[in-house]
């Protein structure tokens, strides 16, 4: 349950504010200067105080023809209509430059919105939907260029902040008869360079310091022993990005400093480490190593997730053990050790955002884009944070208490 007296946090600039300080604008009617019409100025006195715990419903008759929205008093962006009730759940997607974060975000959202709705009920999800305007932003910047045109997404420009992608998610209540639990899932795509640069970390990647959970995309193409196993056509043509261990270390140190935590203390966040570009693993993994080889099917492709029976912890853990072993064997043992030592809980997985490799000659991905296992890390985080629940997992109550 949200504390109604607590200050609200903007999912775009992460500044805190009271609801009474928000001006309400019309998104359908304009003033004489062509600006969106103010339907309710910011509040003063007692109304400003009551607004915080009994917020005016924007669906109220008076407002209906305006499609009204509250504006963030700090960054002036339109706030989600459900800011009055939903907490923000920022999931940080981290990794070095070129590790595949942007493609993973594109594929994760495609998976959540279009691939797994058939299994929502089994998974304990009621709905996942983009907030108004986010749908268009996602289609323009991610879906059309990648899924429709089969082209590469452009690299993020270091030092610039892209608009977060915000989705409302509702989960089945933990006890029958209770209200569904809802949150605004906030995903922000940052440049890998900013994650390993202290100044930019605070300037453009500071939202990460508000994250409730992290997904770290580890680029297998940073490992010399992986590159050695790849055929010529699949070897990287560009210099590899930052070492994942450097990115993780920078994040750990900045997060501790931001939260006033002691050196050596454990970060109270779950971390899902995901081996990216999982479509390449079939070229690398030796069949004789049966545990690691369980990541790969007969077609030498990463085995896709199967949610027909919901999210099964024993299956996730099985893949986690195999993925961890892969990382240990292919140059990333120090990363595994660091992750295990610095975070409250850690798991491992392997994902493929695109299903195939980019073909420089044709300027397109080799086959139509078909993501695999992309929702796994997020579903695991939702379980760890107590939003989703099955008998076999005990959520950390601290994680729920702390919106």
Ligand X SMILES: Nc1nc2c(ncn2[C@@H]2O[C@H](COP(=O)(O)OP(=O)(O)O)[C@@H](O)[C@H]2O)c(=O)[nH]1
**Residues binding Zn ion (CB under 5 A):** 10, 12-13, 72, 74-75
Near ligand X by CB under 6 A, which window of 94-102, 139-147, 169-177, 286-294? 94-102
Q: Torsion-angle region of residue 43: left (phi > 0), alpha (psi -120 to 50) or beta?
A: beta
DSSP 73: T
Q: CA torsion sign, 243 to 249 to 252 to 254?
A: negative
Near ligand X by CB under 6 A, which window of 206-214, 276-284, 293-301, 390-398? 276-284
Q: Is 156 in the site for Mg ion (CB under 5 A)?
A: yes
Among 102, 111, 141, 243, binds Mg ion (CB under 5 A): 102
Nearest-approach distance from CB 185 to Zn ion, in angstroms: 17
Select the binding partner of residue 152 from ligand X, Zn ion, Mg ion, none (C-beta < 5 to 8 A, by kind).
ligand X
Phi/psi of residue 102, nearest 5 degrees: -65, -40
Q: Is 200 in the site for Mg ion (CB under 5 A)?
A: no
Interacting residues of 232 by C-beta distance below 8 A, sequence separation 6+ = none
Which of 248, 238, 402, 243 is CA-nearest to residue 340?
A: 248
Near ligand X by CB under 6 A, which window of 62-70, 224-232, 307-315, 347-355? 347-355
Near ligand X by CB under 6 A, which window of 112-120, 249-257, 277-285, 315-323? 277-285
Which of 188, 216, 249 is CA-nearest to residue 347?
A: 216
Distance CA 16, CA 6 (A): 9
Q: Is 42 in the site for ligand X (CB under 6 A)?
A: no
Site residues for ligand X, 142-201, by CB under 6 A, read 152-153, 155-156, 192
Nearest-approach distance from CB 183 to Zn ion, in angstroms: 18
Angle between helix 333-342 and 313-329 (nearest 10): 130
Distance CA 168, CA 88 (A): 9
Select the binding partner of residue 279 from ligand X, Mg ion, Zn ion, none (C-beta < 5 to 8 A, by kind).
ligand X
* Beta carbon nearer to Zn ion, 186 or 285: 186
Contact between residue 382 and residue 396 where contact means Cβ atoms under 8 Å apart: no
SS3 22: coil
* Beta carbon nearer to Mg ion, 96 or 270: 96
Which of 76, 99, 66, 68 is CA-nearest to residue 13?
A: 76
* Beta carbon nearer to ligand X, 84 or 352: 352
Near Mg ion by CB under 5 A, which window of 98-106, 110-118, 265-273, 362-370? 98-106
Which residue ranges make up the site for Mg ion (CB under 5 A)? 101-102, 156
């Amino acid at each position: 349950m949200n504390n109604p007296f607590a200050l609200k946090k903007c999912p775009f600039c992460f500044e805190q504010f009271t609801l009474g300080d928000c001006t309400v604008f019309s998104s359908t009617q304009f003033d004489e200067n062509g600006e969106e019409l103010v339907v309710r100025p910011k509040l003063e006195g007692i109304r400003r105080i009551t607004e915080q715990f009994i917020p005016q419903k924007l669906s109220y008759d008076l407002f209906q023809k305006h499609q009204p929205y509250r504006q963030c008093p700090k960054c002036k962006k339109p706030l989600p209509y459900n800011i009055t009730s939903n907490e923000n759940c920022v999931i940080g997607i981290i990794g070095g430059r070129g590790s595949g974060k942007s493609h993973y975000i594109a594929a994760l959202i495609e998976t959540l919105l279009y691939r797994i709705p058939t299994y929502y009920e089994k998974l304990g999800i009621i709905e996942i939907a983009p907030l108004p305007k986010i749908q268009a932003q996602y289609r323009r910047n991610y879906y059309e260029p990648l899924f429709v045109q089969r082209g590469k997404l452009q690299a993020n420009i270091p030092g610039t902040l892209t608009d977060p992608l915000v989705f409302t998610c509702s989960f089945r209540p933990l006890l029958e008869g209770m209200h569904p639990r809802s949150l605004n899932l906030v995903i922000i795509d940052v440049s890998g360079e900013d994650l390993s640069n202290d100044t930019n970390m605070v300037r453009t990647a500071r939202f990460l310091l508000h994250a409730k959970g992290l997904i770290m995309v580890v680029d297998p193409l940073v490992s010399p022993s992986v590159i050695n196993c790849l055929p010529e056509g699949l070897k990287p043509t560009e210099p590899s990005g930052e070492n994942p261990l450097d990115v993780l270390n920078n994040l750990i140190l900045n997060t501790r400093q931001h939260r006033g935590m002691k050196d050596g203390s454990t970060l109270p966040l779950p971390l899902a480490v995901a081996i990216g570009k999982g479509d390449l693993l079939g070229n690398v993994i030796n069949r004789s190593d049966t545990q690691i080889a369980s990541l790969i099917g007969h077609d030498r492709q990463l085995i896709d997730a199967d949610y027909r029976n919901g999210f099964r912890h024993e299956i996730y853990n099985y893949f986690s053990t195999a993925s961890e072993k892969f990382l240990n064997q292919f140059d990333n043992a120090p990363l595994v050790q660091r992750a295990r030592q610095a975070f409250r809980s850690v798991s491992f997985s392997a994902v493929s955002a695109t299903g195939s490799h980019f073909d420089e000659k044709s300027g397109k991905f080799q086959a139509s884009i078909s993501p695999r296992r992309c929702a796994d890390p997020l579903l695991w985080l939702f379980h760890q944070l107590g939003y989703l629940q099955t008998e076999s997992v005990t959520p950390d109550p601290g994680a729920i208490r702390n919106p």
